[in-house]
Amino acid sequence: MTDWPMTFRCNNNCVSCILNTSVTSSMPDPSMEQIIGVIDGINPKNDYLGISGGEPTLRNELLDILRYAREKHPDLYIFLVSNGRMFFYREYTKKLADLNLNNFRVGIPLYGHTPKLHDSITRVKGSFIQAVGGIKNLLESGINVEMRTIISKLNYTHLEDIANFVGGFQGIDRFVFINMKYTGNAFLHKNILFVKFSDVVPYATKAVDILRDFDIPVRLYHFPLCILPKGYRTIAEGVTKEEKELTFAPQCKNCKVRNKCPRIWKTYFISTGKKEFKAILYEGKK
C-alpha cells in the first residue's frame, strides 16, 4: 500500500480526524521531490497510489502530480481521499476530468444526511452543501466516486437516514461504512465519539440493506466478522490498513475465519474491553 499526504492543511476541522489538526495544520507540505520519489518507486503490478492529507485539493500542484502519476504508470490505480469541497467549483472539477486519468476514484466522506449533522462533525458551516455539490459535479463529469461514512457516537443512529439520502445520487461507484480509528482529534474527543462495534451493527446492517435496494455496491470497513450476521460478512472481509495498526482479541486465536477478518483497531481497546468478540468456530455460524 502506498498512501501519501499532499499536505497536512485542511479546510475542515473534523472532530473525528485521525490527525491532531492543532499540530499538523502548521506542518510543512511534503516536497515535490519527495512526492515524485514515491510515485517513481511504486510497482504498479502489486500496489496503488493513495493520495490523502490534510485536504489534498489545497495542494496547488495536485493536478500536476496526478498527471505525472498517470504518465509514469499508465495502468496504476489512483485513489484520492478528499472532503469534496473543492469539487463544488465546476471549473476545478473540469480540470480534473480533463486529465482523463482512468482507473481513478475519489473517496468523499459524508458524516450525516443533513447540514446540521455533517457540519457538526466537520466543524465548518457550509461544508455539507459544498461536499454534496462536489459529489454531484464529480459524478456529472464521469469521475468515479466512493462515498463513505466514518462512524461515531454522533452519527451511528442515523446510518439508515444517510443510506436513504445517498440513494438519491446517480452513478455512485460504491459506499463504505467505516469504524473509526481513535488517534489525533478522534483520540482527544473519544469521550463524545466512542461507540461499541456491537452497538453500530444493527444500524449498519439496515443501512446496507437500503443501499442494496438502491443497487449501490457497499462495503463495511473495520467490522470484525464475528460481530456481523453471516449475510454481511463477505462485504467486510479483508485487511485494508497496515497490520501494525490492527490486532485480535485473545479469543480470536481459534477463529475459523481469522485469515479473512479485517481485525480490530488497536486504539479501539482504549475505551472498551475485549469480551465483545467471539471466535467463529465454523463458517456456518450466524
pLDDT beneath 70, residues of the chain = 1, 284-286
Identify the pLDDT of residue 243. Answer: 87
Which residues pair with residue 80 across a beta bridge?
Answer: 51, 106
What are the counts of helices (DSSP H) followed by strands (DSSP E) for the chain?
10, 9
Range of the domain at 202: 2-221
Identify the pLDDT of residue 285. Answer: 45
| 3-state class percentages of the chain: helix first, strand second, coil last, to nearest 5 | 40, 15, 45
Cis peptide leading into 53, omega within 30 of 0? Answer: no
- Are the beta carbons of 131 and 108 closer than 8 angstroms? yes
Q: How many CB atoms lie within 10 A of CB 1?
A: 10
- Are the beta carbons of 75 and 104 closer than 8 angstroms? no
What is the number of structural domains in the chain?
1
Length of the chain, please?
A: 286
In a domain, 44, yes or no: yes
Chain-centre distance for alpha carbon 184: 16
In a domain, 67, yes or no: yes
We report the CATH number of the domain holding residue 122 as 3.20.20.70
Identify the pLDDT of residue 245. Answer: 93
In a domain, 227, yes or no: no
In a domain, 151, yes or no: yes
Closest CA to 230 of 205, 263, 254: 205
Identify the pLDDT of residue 282. Answer: 76
In a domain, 279, yes or no: no
What nine digits make up the cell of 31? 516536497
Strand (E) or helix (H) holding 193: helix 190-193
In a domain, 177, yes or no: yes
In a domain, 131, yes or no: yes
Q: What is the SS3 assignment for 167?
A: coil
In a domain, 20, yes or no: yes
pTM score, two decimals? 0.94
First-to-last C-alpha distance (Å) of the chain: 32
